[in-house]
């Protein structure tokens, strides 16, 4: 029971801090003082108090999308192992439910972008839809291969069994971390796939889809995307943290990994530029390649002799 409360507490607080840490890191690399790491949280509160402007072209789809999206991400987070490597809900095939629930959110984001009748937002939607067709299969290949090793279909048990698989297990873990990290960059629209801080609509992917959202809607969307990034970071940390540690150490380790990931993201954003749209595909394919490498390793481990 305590685990659940810890998880929910972390879920509600840490995502904004992650954004804060990323912004702080970027400020550090560009030699600025930067914002307080709690600033995203204050921004959120400020947005809650603002008036909402709806385009006269939009319909109810546009209004419910932020709600659906937030509910989706909250629901999906129940399946992700967080502090102490425990997920709130542990059922077989959790990763399928996880990715399909996230896809429901994506469905609404896409149609809400088309609802505004804006050419920019249609463009963003087109890009997002196209990239996600390439991300999902790689994710499924990676997770599918790993489940073949473990025979247990919950996120949580992955780690334990991988550790017992010896050198192959560690190789698979490393590759899985790379796959998930690339997936994080794509799904959460970070550099080099997308630049959340850009000012030019033509180059955006995710940001451009929410151009018309304002006030409480925008607040919800920002929170949603922060939590989404946090979830992928938690999946990565669930693969790193060794099993069998005392609870308090495990939680501390979890938090520090989350912040290290944020720092890495911040550093990448300061040191590289966004790819050209055509090159984004090549980046997305790296993920497929790491997924296929996992598949090869697992195949070798299972049938090599």
Partner 1 sequence: MDMFFIALGLLLLGGIFPFFVNDNSKIKICSYFAGLSTVVFVLYSILVLLTGKPIIANIYLSSLFGNVNFVIDALSAFFILIISVMSFIGIIYANGYLKSYIGKNKFNISVHCFFLMLLIASMIGVVTVQNSLLFLILWEIMSLSSFFLVIFESDKKEVISSGIKYLIYMHLSVIFIILAFALLNIYSGSLNFMDFSELLSKNKHFSNIVFLLAFTGFGIKAGFFPFHNWLPDAHPAAPSHVSGIMSGVMIKTGIYGILRILYLISIPSKLMAYTVLIIALLSSMYGVLYAITQHDIKRLLAYHSIENIGIIGIGIGIGLIGIVYNNPVAAVLGFSGGLLHILNHSIFKELLFFSAGSVYKQTHTRNIEYLGGIIKNMPYSSLLFAIGSIAISGLPPFNGFISELLIYGAMISGLPAPNTTVFITIIVSLASLAIVGTMAILCFTKAFGVMFLGSPRSEQAANVQNDVEKIMIIPMVILAFFALIIGIFPQYAASLVLSPVSLFIQGEIIINVFAILIQLLSYISLLFFVFILIILIITGLKFFISKKSRQYSTWGCGYDKPNNHMQYTASSYADLFVSTLKPMFKRIAHIKKPKELFPKDAYYEVEIEDIEEAYIVKPLLKFDEKILSKFEKIQNGNIQQYILFGLIFLLIAIIGLKYFG
Task: For residue 59, report the phi and psi dihedrals to the nearest 5 degrees.
Answer: -125, -165
Q: What secondary structure letter does DSSP report for 203? A: G
Show contacts with partner 1 in window 192-251 (CB under 8 A): 201, 211-212, 215-216, 220
Closer CB to partner 1, 171 or 263, in the complex: 171
User: Which one of 143-151, 160-168, 174-182, 190-198 is the stretch in contact with partner 1 (CB under 8 A)?
Assistant: 143-151
Closer CB to partner 1, 121 or 269, in the complex: 121
Q: Does 106 bind partner 1 (CB under 8 A)?
A: yes
Q: Does 52 bind partner 1 (CB under 8 A)?
A: yes
Closer CB to partner 1, 201 or 255, in the complex: 201
Least separation in angstroms between residue 213's CB and partner 1 is 10
Q: Does 101 bind partner 1 (CB under 8 A)?
A: yes
Angle at CA of residue 105, ends 84 and 73, nearest 5°: 20
CA distance 228 to 99: 12
Give the one residue of 119, 164, 271, 272 binding partner 1; rule: CB under 8 A.
119
Q: What secondary structure letter does DSSP report for 133? A: H
CB hemisphere CA count around 22 (13 angstroms): 25
Least separation in angstroms between residue 235's CB and partner 1 is 17
Q: Does 286 bind partner 1 (CB under 8 A)?
A: no
First vs last C-alpha separation in the chain? 45
Least separation in angstroms between residue 191's CB and partner 1 is 20
User: Which one of 14-22, 109-117, 159-167, 173-181 is the stretch in contact with partner 1 (CB under 8 A)?
Assistant: 109-117
The per-residue b/e assignment along 60-94, b for 16 or more CB within 10 angstroms, e otherwise, is eebeebbebbbbbbbbbbbbbbbbbbbbeeeeeeb
Show contacts with partner 1 in window 148-177 (CB under 8 A): 148-149, 151, 153
Q: Does 107 bind partner 1 (CB under 8 A)?
A: yes
User: Which one of 45-53, 169-177, 188-196, 238-246 is the stretch in contact with partner 1 (CB under 8 A)?
Assistant: 45-53
| Token pair for 25 | 């890191």
Closer CB to partner 1, 9 or 93, in the complex: 93
Least separation in angstroms between residue 138's CB and partner 1 is 8
The per-residue b/e assignment along 218-254, b for 16 or more CB within 10 angstroms, e otherwise, is bbbbbbbbbbbbbbbbbbbbbbebebeeeeeebbebb
Torsion angle of the four alpha carbons 48, 206, 180, 104, in this order, in degrees rounded to the nearest 10: 70
Q: Does 34 bind partner 1 (CB under 8 A)?
A: no
Show contacts with partner 1 in window 67-96 (CB under 8 A): 67-68, 70-71, 74-75, 78, 89, 91-93, 96
CA distance 280 to 211: 22
Closer CB to partner 1, 30 or 49, in the complex: 49
């Amino acid at each position: 029971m305590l685990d659940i409360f810890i998880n929910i507490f972390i879920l509600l607080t840490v995502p904004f801090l992650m954004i804060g840490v990323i912004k702080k890191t970027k400020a550090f690399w560009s030699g600025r003082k930067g914002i307080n790491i709690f600033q995203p949280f204050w921004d959120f509160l400020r947005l809650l108090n603002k008036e909402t402007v709806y385009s006269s072209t939009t319909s109810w789809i546009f209004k419910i999308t932020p709600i659906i999206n937030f509910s989706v991400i909250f629901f999906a987070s129940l399946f992700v192992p967080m502090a102490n490597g425990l997920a709130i809900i542990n059922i077989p095939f959790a990763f399928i439910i996880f990715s399909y629930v996230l896809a429901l959110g994506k469905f609404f984001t896409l149609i809400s972008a088309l609802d505004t009748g804006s050419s920019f937002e249609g463009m963003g939607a087109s890009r997002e839809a196209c990239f996600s067709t390439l991300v999902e299969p790689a994710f499924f290949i990676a997770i599918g291969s790993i489940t073949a090793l473990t025979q247990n279909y919950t996120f949580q048990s992955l780690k334990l069994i991988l550790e017992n698989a010896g050198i192959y297990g560690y190789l698979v873990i490393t590759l899985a971390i790379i796959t998930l990290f690339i997936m994080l960059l794509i799904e959460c629209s970070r550099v080099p796939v997308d630049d959340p801080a850009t000012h030019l609509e033509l180059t955006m992917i995710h940001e451009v889809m929410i151009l018309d959202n304002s006030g409480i809607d925008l607040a919800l969307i920002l929170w949603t995307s922060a939590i989404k990034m946090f979830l992928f970071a938690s999946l990565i940390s669930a693969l790193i943290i060794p099993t069998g540690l005392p609870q308090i150490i495990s939680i501390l380790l979890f938090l520090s990994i989350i912040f290290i990931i944020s720092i890495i993201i911040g550093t990448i954003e300061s040191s590289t530029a966004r790819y050209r749209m055509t090159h984004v595909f090549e980046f997305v394919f790296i993920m497929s390649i790491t997924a296929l490498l996992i598949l090869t390793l697992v195949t070798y481990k299972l049938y090599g002799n």
